[in-house]
Chain A
C-alpha cells in the first residue's frame, strides 16, 4: 500500500515536471549523458588511448568525426569516455557534500543555541582552509586519483550545503505545524525527518543540481593541475588543458570538451529549477 502511494507521488512530481519544457529537455540531456557514460565502450569508435602520431591534430573527417588531438587520438572517443569521469566527479562529490551538509545543517538549524554555534564555528574554521589547498593535501596523503578528487570536492562543498540547509531549517522550525506536530507527541527525530527536511529541502535541490555543474568544473580544474583524473584516462577538463598548447592553431580541440561541460552544467541547472517547482505542492496549478 505504501509503495503504491510512493509511486503515485513520483508520478505527481513527473506530472508537474512535464509542464516545464526546459526541464524535460534537460532531463533528457542528462539521461543521454548518463547512457553515454555507461555504454562508452560500445559507442566510441576508437579506444581513448589509441595513438597515431602520424595523424596528429587532424581535421574532422569521415574517419575521425571531430578530428584528432596532438597525439593523434580520436577526440570523439575521448569525449565519450570523458563523460564517465566528469559525471562521476560531479554527481558523487555533490552526493557526499549534500548528505553531510543536510545532516549538519538540519541539526544545527533545528537545535540552535550552542549546537548551532559549535557547528557553524567549526564550518567557519573549515572554510578558512582554501578548497584547493585541501585537495592538494588530500591528494598528497591519498595519492591523486578520481576517487580522491571526488572525496576532496565533496568535502569542499559541505559548508555551502550546510549553511543553506541551516537557514532553510530555521525558517521551517518556527512554523506552527512544527508545534502542532509536537502537540501530538511527535518525537524530535520524526519532526526533523518528516516535517522539517521535506519542507526545507526546496532551496537545496537547486543548490544540489547547480553543485553538480560546479563540481564538474572544479573537477576539471583539479585534473588540470594533475590532482584529479590521471592521463591517459580522458576527462573533459584534462582535454581542455591538453588542447591549450595548440589552442591557437586548433581551437576546436578545446571547444568540444568545453561545449560538453557547458551543456551538462546548463542541463543540471535547468533541471534543478524545474524540480524545485515540481516538488513544491503550493505551486501546483
Chain B
C-alpha cells in the first residue's frame, strides 16, 4: 500500500540579506494513513516551515512531495485547489488565525462556501454539525472569536480544518497557546476525530509530553535537518542522538525529589544562514570531534529507527560504561 504522504529530500531556503537561510534541509519521511507523525524540535528548527511547505503554503525550494502516490511538488492551480480539500492545517495561535470580523458560523462556513456546490441551508446544516462535532455549543454561532476563550477558538480552527473532510491535517502546535487543562481537552478531541474519520496527522510541537501521547512516529529536528526519527516508544526508550537525549531529558516530571538527570545544552542555537556542511549540532555537542565536520546522513540503527550522528554507537557505549561505573 502506498503511504498517504511521502516527502523526499524536501528543502526550503529563504533568501535573506545575510545569505541563504536553510529553514528545511533535506527532510524525508513517509506517513501512513491514520497515523500520526510527531515533529519536535526547539523554536526556529524549521518544523513549522516543514508543515507549511508540505501544504504548499510556501513553495518548496527542492525535493519531492507525494500524496497518495501522486507527485504534488509543483501542482497546477486546479490541482492545488483539489489538494487543499484533502490537506488541511490547524494553526498554532487561535487568537490570530481567526478573522476577528467573522462570526463563528461564518468562519466555519467559509471553506464550504469556497468549495461551492452546496445550498445555503445545507451549508448552515453542515456548519451546525461541525460545531457539534468539535463540541461548540450552538449558542456561540453568532459570537465573534474575541468573545470566546482559547480552547473554544481552537475548536473553531479544528472545525474549519474538518469542514472540507480532509485526509491529512498538519497540526502546527495546536495546543501550545492554550492552558494545560484545555490542552488535554483539545488533544483528546483531536484523537477522537482521528479515530472516527481515519485522519492522518502531522503534529508539529515543541511539547514532548504531548508528542509522546499522540504520535506513532517521532521526528526530531534541529536547524532544518532531521537528527533522529523513530517509532514513539523506541525513541523514548532508546534515544541515540545527543540532541534528542538533551531534548527528552527536558520533559518535566511531576515528582519530588526530582532525580532525573537533565542534560543541559550550552550555547545558543547556531545560525541557519549558510550553515557549514557538517553536523549542525556540533557547536553545542559535548561529543563533537573532527569527524563531525563531515556531512552527516541518517543511518538506520534498528528497523524504523534512524539517527544522524557519526558517533552514535560510541556515544551510547560511553554512556553505558559511565552508568556501570556509577553502579559500582
Report which A residues bind B (CB closer than 8 A): 1, 175-177, 179-186, 190, 195, 198-199, 281-282, 284
Contact = CB atoms under 8 A, between A and B. Distances in A.
A198 B81 contact: no
Contacts of B163: 184
A126 B305 CA distance: 64
B57 A182 contact: yes
B115 A185 contact: yes
B88 A183 contact: yes
A44 B114 CA distance: 55
B115 A199 contact: no
B101 A199 contact: yes
Q: DSSP class of A's interface residues: helix, strand, loop or mixed?
A: helix
B99 A186 contact: no
Given A176-B93, A185-B115, A199-B100, 7 more contacts: A180-B97, A183-B88, A184-B110, A185-B81, A199-B101, A281-B100, A284-B147
Interface string B140-176: 0000101100000000010010011000000000000
A165 B110 CA distance: 25
A199 B84 contact: no
Contact of B98 (A177, A182, A186): A177
A199 to B, nearest CB: 6
A183 B55 contact: yes
Contacts of B160: 180, 184
A282 B92 CA distance: 20
A1 B120 contact: yes
Given A182-B57, A185-B84, A281 B146 contact: yes
Contacts of A190: 114
13 contacts: A175-B96, A176-B91, A176-B96, A176-B97, A177-B98, A179-B57, A180-B98, A180-B157, A182-B57, A183-B89, A281-B101, A281-B144, A281-B146
Given A180-B97, A195-B99, A282 B146 contact: yes
A177 B99 contact: yes
B111 interface: yes
A6 B163 CA distance: 24
B157 to A, nearest CB: 8
Nearest to B124: A1
B85 interface: yes
Contacts of A1: 120
Nearest to B163: A184
Complex A-B, nearest 7 residue pairs according to Cβ-Cβ distance, in ascending order: A184-B111, A176-B97, A176-B96, A177-B99, A281-B144, A198-B101, A185-B84
Contacts of A195: 99
A199 B92 CA distance: 21
A282 B93 CA distance: 17
Most chain B CB inside 10 Å of its own CB: which residue of A177, A181, A195, A281: A177
A88 B81 CA distance: 47
Contacts of A181: 99, 110
A198 B101 CA distance: 7
A179 B164 CA distance: 16
Contacts of B93: 176
A184 B57 contact: no
Nearest to A196: B99
A157 to B, nearest CB: 26
Contacts of A176: 91-93, 96-97
Nearest to B146: A282
Nearest to B55: A183
A218 B85 CA distance: 53
B164 A184 contact: yes
Contacts of A180: 89, 91, 97-99, 157, 160
B159 to A, nearest CB: 12
Contacts of B57: 179, 182-183
A186 B100 contact: no
